[in-house]
Chain A
């Protein structure tokens, strides 16, 4: 293994052979003080610089003046400075690239977070998002429970004061067994002389039955337009989950009240109906009421 002469210059190390070959040196630091002047004063054995110059390096006689050594190898101060500048530039460029990639990554993440969040909410039902994944009621839930249990479902209807409609149920009550689907009807009449869009919401009392009360299809939460003077029948197809029968907390419930309330869809100043997309991307009227509506208005 040929011994590569190493020059120690103020705690720098230069691989001299490589420098000579490629005019490129390995440097860790570069001080701005002229190297030659330091080398003009050969150090005494016990000066602070002596330790550096006297550090054993393979094949180097540390007592040879530094300038002479450099001249032997053909290295100039300018070489060393250029090398340092090149390394600094490379370092800066690398950190610049890192910073740029971080910026681009953050931007991409912020753009992707909106559909990602939407997807997450839909899948997990987080933060109260209704999971609207197509038909989730499977036929095995629609088998009537084989017991004497009967629930009387009464129907009530309400209309917001700003909506000139007449809205009423067409049957007073229906008796169902848990697991049995039932059909009920409401009738709405537009008493005014304009086309009006209404939106309905519903309410089930008592509140405990709400998780078991499932609607297969109804007319709520979507805008329903009635022409002037039109009368239309609105069906509700629902059932009570069969697990209701085995829940001990529901043993005392025999009557349920299903209340539908119609509101007028919101319009802006020029009379256009406003719609706002919900978490699932469907457009709903902007004032879907969530709170319990007052009965017997």
Chain B
């Protein structure tokens, strides 16, 4: 890194490591089906709006697939910003009709 050279320059970009580290690679494609469903959902929504809640639930499906197969550390959904399994989740309370 530039020692003292970039001090005062607020625009220097410093890549930071991810918070939980790196995903282990899914070499055997165990969760590929979930990924495909999620991507199809993204494409169908045309990305004109925010990621629709259905697609976020599919993302949750993908991540839970990873967790089950040991490709990701198990964690609470609240820590990942995804709706809990119970009803009355956080994500759904942002109204879609705002857009």
Contacts and interface: CB of A to CB of B under 8 A. Distances in A.
Max chain A C-beta neighbours (<10 A), residue from B21, B72, B79: B21
B23 A136 contact: no
Interface string A172-193: 1111110111110100000000
Nearest to A238: B18
Contacts of A181: 80-82
B8 interface: no
B47 A217 contact: no
A170 B14 contact: no
A175 B26 contact: no
A220 B18 contact: yes
Contact of B80 (A172, A174, A237): A237
A249 to B, nearest CB: 10
A217 B18 contact: yes
B87 interface: no
- Give the bracket for the number of chain B residues in contact with chain A: 35 or more
25 contacts: A127-B3, A128-B1, A136-B19, A137-B19, A139-B79, A143-B81, A143-B90, A144-B91, A144-B94, A173-B47, A175-B47, A182-B51, A183-B63, A185-B39, A215-B18, A215-B19, A217-B19, A219-B25, A220-B22, A222-B21, A224-B25, A233-B35, A234-B23, A290-B1, A290-B15
Interface of B: 1, 3, 11-23, 25-27, 29, 32, 35, 38-39, 42-43, 47-51, 59, 62-63, 72, 76, 78-82, 90-91, 94, 98-99
Interface of A: 127-128, 130, 132, 135-139, 142-144, 146, 148, 150, 152, 170-177, 179-183, 185, 201-204, 207-208, 210, 214-222, 224-227, 230, 232-235, 237, 239, 290, 292
Given A139-B79, A139-B81, 11 more contacts: A138-B79, A139-B76, A152-B47, A171-B39, A173-B47, A182-B59, A202-B15, A215-B18, A219-B25, A234-B23, A237-B63
